[in-house]
Amino acid sequence: MSAHRLQQLRADVRARAENRPGVYRMLGPSGEVLYVGKSVAVRTRLLSYFRAERGEKAAEIIGHAHAVEWDHLPSEFAALLHEFRLIKRLRPPYNVEHKRDSSVCYIKLTREAVPRLLVAGHVTSDGSEYFGPFRGRARITEAVRAVADLLELRDCAADTPMRLADQMQLFRLAEDPRCVRGQVGRCVAPCAGGCTHAEYLARIARARAFLEGETDEPLQLLRARIHTAARRLQFEYAAELRDRADSLELVQQELLQLGRTVESLSFAYTVPGHAGEDRVYLVRRGSVRAELPAPRTTPERRALETQACELFSRTEPETLGLRAHEAQEVLLVARWFRLHPEELERTVPASAWTGPPPTPDAAAGH
C-alpha cells in the first residue's frame, strides 16, 4: 500500500468517522471484503490501525486495504450482531480462522444418507446437527465412540461404499463387513448388508433421542453390560464400563443444562441506543428473531406485543441440538449476557406474552 493511499484513508476516517458503536469493513483492490470488525468507538478503533507496528495483524490488514467502510450503529449489542452476521455471510479471509475457538468441540450428527456421529471442532453450514459446545475433546471423543458402539453406528470415512440390505436384495451380493468394528459386532455394517436403510436410520434416531435427553437407552445398555460383567466376575471390565457410563451420563447432563440455558434465552431485550435510537430485540432460544425500534406510541407498543406474542407462541421443535445456522448466534448471545449480566434487567421474559391473556382489570392497570 502506498503511503499516499494510507494518508487518504486516514484523512477519510478523520473526516467522517464518529466515536460511537459501529462495524467497519476493510476492502481489497476489487472491493472484496478482507476484514470485518466492530467497536464501541469506531473512529478511535480505525485510527489505531494507522498506528499499528509492522508485524501486527492490524498493520497487515490496513496494508492490504484499498478502502475502508463503516456503519454507525445504535449500540454495542447492535454492532456485535451486525459484525457476526457480516462475517458469517462474507467470510472475510482475515476473520475466518481468527474467530474459531479451538478449546471447544461439538457432537455432530452428519447429514448423510447413512449418517455418522462425530466430534467436530466447529460448526459449519452443511446441514448436520450439532450438540454442544463442550470442553475436553478427549472425553467427548470417548463418549461419541461409546454411543456409536452401543447403537452399532458406523464411524468410517464419508466415502466408504455402503451396501444396505435393501440394495443387497437388488444385487444379490453377500459381503463381509469392511472393518473390524463390523466383524466384532460394534457396527451393524451398513457397508455389507447388515441392515436396511430404515433400520439404520432408526438407530440414528435413538442416538438423537439420547443427545436430546429423551432417553437414556445407551446408558441402560451399558448398565446391562456392567451387570453381566460383574456376574461373570470380570470386575476390571465392569469398572471400565462403569467409568464409561459415568462420563456418558455427564455428557447428557451437560446437554440438558445447555438446553435449559438456551431455553432461558427467550425474551424481549430493550437496548438504549445512541441519540435515542433504542431498539427491541426479540430473542427466542438464544437467536435474535426480530429487531424493531423501541415503541414510543401506543400503536407501536401494540404492534410489538402482537409480534412478540406471535413469535413466542409459535410451536417449534424442542431440541437440545443446535442447528448449524443458529448455533453460533446462540453462543454469541449467551456470551453477551454472561459478560454483561446486568443487561438481563432490560429483558422481559417470553412468558409475559405466552401466559394466559390478562383479565380486563389487569389490562386496565387496576
Contact footprint for ligand SF4 (CB under 6 A): 154-156, 160, 177-179, 181-182, 187, 189-191
Between 160 and 270, name the residue whose CB sits nearer to ligand SF4: 160
- Provide the minimum distance between the beta carbon of 188 and ligand SF4 in the complex, in angstroms, as a whole number: 7
275 — alpha (psi -120 to 50), left (phi > 0) or beta?
left
Between 107 and 151, name the residue whose CB sits nearer to ligand SF4: 151
- Provide the minimum distance between the beta carbon of 121 and ligand SF4 in the complex, in angstroms, as a whole number: 22
Between 12 and 155, name the residue whose CB sits nearer to ligand SF4: 155
- Tell me the C-alpha distance between 271 and 280, whole Å: 6
Residue with cell 445456522: 325
Which residue blocks in the chain are alpha helix, DSSP H? 3-16, 42-49, 57-64, 76-90, 93-96, 137-151, 165-171, 180-183, 197-211, 217-231, 235-264, 298-313, 324-339, 351-354, 360-363
- Provide the minimum distance between the beta carbon of 114 and ligand SF4 in the complex, in angstroms, as a whole number: 7
Residues in the chain: 366
- Provide the minimum distance between the beta carbon of 195 and ligand SF4 in the complex, in angstroms, as a whole number: 10
Between 25 and 178, name the residue whose CB sits nearer to ligand SF4: 178
Are the C-beta atoms of 75 and 273 separated by less than 8 Å?
Answer: yes
Residue with cell 391473556: 357
Are the C-beta atoms of 114 and 162 separated by less than 8 Å?
Answer: yes
Between 158 and 362, name the residue whose CB sits nearer to ligand SF4: 158
Between 82 and 181, name the residue whose CB sits nearer to ligand SF4: 181
- Provide the minimum distance between the beta carbon of 148 and ligand SF4 in the complex, in angstroms, as a whole number: 9
Burial 121-136 (b: 16+ CB within 10 A, else e): ebbeeeebbbbbbbee
- Provide the minimum distance between the beta carbon of 196 and ligand SF4 in the complex, in angstroms, as a whole number: 14
* Span between the terminal Cα atoms of the chain, in Å: 68
- Provide the minimum distance between the beta carbon of 262 and ligand SF4 in the complex, in angstroms, as a whole number: 32
Are the C-beta atoms of 25 and 69 separated by less than 8 Å?
Answer: yes
Between 145 and 242, name the residue whose CB sits nearer to ligand SF4: 145
With CB atoms as reference, the residue minimizing the distance to ligand SF4 is 182
